[in-house]
Structure 1
Amino acid sequence: MKDTAKLSTENISSLVATGAGFDLLRYYTLPDFLGKDAPYLLYFMGKNIARETTIETFEELYEFFQYMGWGELQLKKEKRRELVFHLQGHIVEKRLNQKIFPVDFRLECGFLAETAQSITGDTYECMEEVLTKENIIEITATKEK
């Protein structure tokens, strides 16, 4: 196995891809192979991807989400035990409004949980909620005890 570079906003921006191919793999092929465990495995795949990054700030995290084609991420609320993020934008809206397959945001949640831990030093678990009228994904990162 060859050595690979850590992922960063600098080197990820050099990748060329379309979201359609990624979405077919993510929402059609993986669930076909993985069955009902697909959402759990996608969450851990997101955590694994995050472990291979060099993200050190929330600003770098927001930029990384855009480069990955996951949408525009913003921290909306910071509470003692929670961080509440909104994921939105044209890409998110298109994913939510397509009629081919059901979508989830488990990969993004896993990535966000692991990255928030590396930035803050606290362990988080993330869950998403679709705010349908606004075409926004609200991701709540809850600090584990």
Structure 2
Amino acid sequence: MDKEQLKLHTIDQLSSETIGFDILKYVCLPNMLGTEKDAILYFSGRDLARNIEITSLDDLIYLFEKFRWGKLELVKQKKHELIFHLMSDDIVHRLRSPLDVDFRMEAGFIAEMIQRIHGRHCEAAEKVNEKLYRVQFQVVFTD
């Protein structure tokens, strides 16, 4: 085995509320997906969004909370760009965890949902602020 196995004390440091999701997303999937992990997670998020009916930004915000992905807030809206912040206790736990966490799936989910809500092609990128325990998503309309 090339990778070091997870130790029990490492697992104990994970949030009990989201541990199943965290183990799958940050341990199993990276092992299976290898170097294509980021792209596959992004497009998995987009695919998930295509399978859920929504009609508004409020629906997107509701789904983030329902999925325990965090509290999503639209903080800036321009003609060709939207900026969201994601914060919550779950985000704090994820960022403090010993796992290598990312938010690619969430970025893909946001991109697809915003594309459907606005009827405009777009892409999303995420930026983690570990000091503020906040994730920023920048959605750029590409049309």
TM-score bucket of the superposed structures, by smaller chain: 0.7 to 0.9
Question: 1:107 is matched by which residue type in structure 2?
Answer: M
1:85 aligns with 2:84: yes
1:141 counterpart SS class = strand
Question: 2:127 is matched by which residue type in structure 1?
Answer: E
Distance in 2, matches of 1:53 and 1:129, equals 25
Q: Which residue of 2 aligns with 1:25?
A: 24
The one-character-per-residue Cα deviations of 1:112-137 (angstroms, maximum 9, x if unpaired) are 00000110001111000011221110
Question: 1:116 is matched by which residue type in structure 2?
Answer: I
Identity in percent = 37
Q: Which residue of 1 aligns with 2:12?
A: none
Q: Which runs of 5+ in 2 are unaligned?
A: 1-15
Q: Quote the RMSD (CA, aligned, Å).
A: 1.2
Question: 2:53 is matched by which residue type in structure 1?
Answer: T
1:127 aligns with 2:140: no
1:59 aligns with 2:66: no
Distance in 2, matches of 1:95 and 1:55, equals 27
Q: After the TM superposition, which residues 1-145 of structure 1 pair with which residues of structure 2 at under 5 Å, given as runs?
A: 18-99=17-98, 101-145=99-143
1:23 counterpart SS class = helix
Question: 2:110 is matched by which residue type in structure 1?
Answer: L
Question: 1:64 is matched by which residue type in structure 2?
Answer: L
Q: Shift of the alpha carbon at 1:18?
A: 4.4
Q: Shift of the alpha carbon at 1:77?
A: 0.0
Distance in 2, matches of 1:18 and 1:87, equals 18
Distance in 1, matches of 2:104 and 2:40, equals 9
Distance in 2, matches of 1:123 and 1:20, equals 34
Distance in 1, matches of 2:17 and 2:133, equals 21
Aligned residues: 128
When normalised by structure 1's length, the TM-score is: 0.85
When normalised by structure 2's length, the TM-score is: 0.87
